[in-house]
Structure 1
Amino acid sequence: MRPPQELHRTAEEPTLPAHRPSRHSGQVVALPGQTRSRPSPTGLERFNTAPADTAERALIACCGSHRWARRLAAHRPYPDLASLLAAADEAAYDLTPADLSEALTREPLPHIPADAHSAAHTALSAAHAAYEARFGHVFVICLDDMPPAETLDQALAAIRSRLANDPEEERCLTAEELRRLAKGRLTRMARTGAPL
């Protein structure tokens, strides 16, 4: 058995320091001579920090209403994509008939694959002309979830079906399709690394 004086440490004896987490815990630390590369900002981060006029131009490309674009740009920053999309929905539901008309004048015709038969392009052109003559604005449809091979058939079927609508019913459907298109475009803008 050891003598009692060996069982207790004295203040002069060295001890190991308690383990403390480094101030760099959880961080990647660059070694001397190395530089840490910062990840590229996301589209949403760039949108949140862009000058107001740049943000509005990016928004106009998503939905052609200036009031809608100004409203979304004014409420930045958005913490995440879901918040941006919720704000876009709210602003879209508040579009006046004049705002909707303004957005429709900037809306391109639905994209049709270039390899589609010329007869299909002719049929679609005729359907678009009939639609514009009936409703006074371009035909709008969101085909984001549609496989590219089915877009032509879907667009033709939808335009022929919607020609039977009364103008007020079609105005509501058009506003909904425009809202869906804007959300898809905003999502792509927020997720891509392309500059605004």
Structure 2
Amino acid sequence: MFRRPAVRGRIHRSPTLSSATLPEGLSRLNQAPSVAAETALRACCGSHRWARRMAAHRPYPTVAALLAAADEAAYDLTSGDLAEALAGEATSALHDRGNLTVHTALRAAHAAYEAKFGHAFVLAAEGDDPTAVLDQTLASLRERLGHDEDEESVATAEQLRRLCRARLLRLAEAPARVG
């Protein structure tokens, strides 16, 4: 389960929103029918409950408000919601960069992780350098394989929350149509 930060603020929405001042993706998300919005949001986080909650709280006046609402909804996920979200996650394809030894170690670590914890390994990797991401992924896998179930549940929930935020940013800023 996600752990709440010590201090949480409330999200304040203005009664009217100007779609001209919003990024195109956020404007489309705000205006989309509920089913289309939930579908788009489920691509960010696989929990039905999270997506319904996010869709129900529209419109979002800013991207910051969207992200704050996403964090709030993520912190309220139950272990069942988290399991549902993780069921939709897949181990990412490995970049072509890096040597065979690194790729072999990553495949073995992913397999060990999935065998131990029963779900795909999720990591909100930082940076754009594929080699650095491979190294970061392998280091994180090795560290997290040493976790017990409770420690890993907290780490996984935090990484999933961070992944959801990154996906929401792409959704909010995308010129492509929602739904």
Q: TM-score, normalised by structure 2?
A: 0.83
Q: 2:147 is matched with which residue?
A: 165
Amino acid paired to 1:109: T
Aligned-pair CA distance for 1:117:
3.2
Q: Does structure 2 retain, via aligned residues, the 8 Å contact 1:40–1:193?
A: no
Aligned-pair CA distance for 1:148:
2.5
- Greater gyration radius: 1
Q: 1:124 is matched with which residue?
A: 106
CA distance in 2: counterparts of 1:148 and 1:51, whole angstroms: 37
Would you say how many aligned residue pairs link Structure 1 and Structure 2?
159
Higher RCO (CA-CA < 8 Å; seq separation 6+): 2
CA distance in 1: counterparts of 2:137 and 2:112, whole angstroms: 14
Amino acid paired to 1:48: N
CA distance in 2: counterparts of 1:108 and 1:85, whole angstroms: 23
Unaligned runs of 5+ in 2: 1-19
Q: Does structure 2 retain, via aligned residues, the 8 Å contact 1:64–1:102?
A: yes
- Bigger fraction of residues in helix: 2
CA distance in 1: counterparts of 2:21 and 2:79, whole angstroms: 43
Unaligned runs of 5+ in 1: 1-37
Task: Return structure 1 stretches of 4+ with deviation > 3 angstroms.
Answer: 38-41, 115-119
CA distance in 2: counterparts of 1:88 and 1:171, whole angstroms: 19
1:46 and 2:10 aligned: no
Q: 2:11 is matched with which residue?
A: none
Q: How does 1:1-196 map to 2 (within 5 A)?
A: 42-196=24-178
Q: Does structure 2 retain, via aligned residues, the 8 Å contact 1:140–1:178?
A: yes
Q: Does structure 1 retain, via aligned residues, the 8 Å contact 2:126–2:133?
A: no
CA distance in 2: counterparts of 1:135 and 1:40, whole angstroms: 40
Aligned-pair CA distance for 1:147:
2.8
Q: TM-score, normalised by structure 1?
A: 0.76
Please report the RMSD computed on the Cα atoms of aligned residues, expressed in angstroms: 1.9
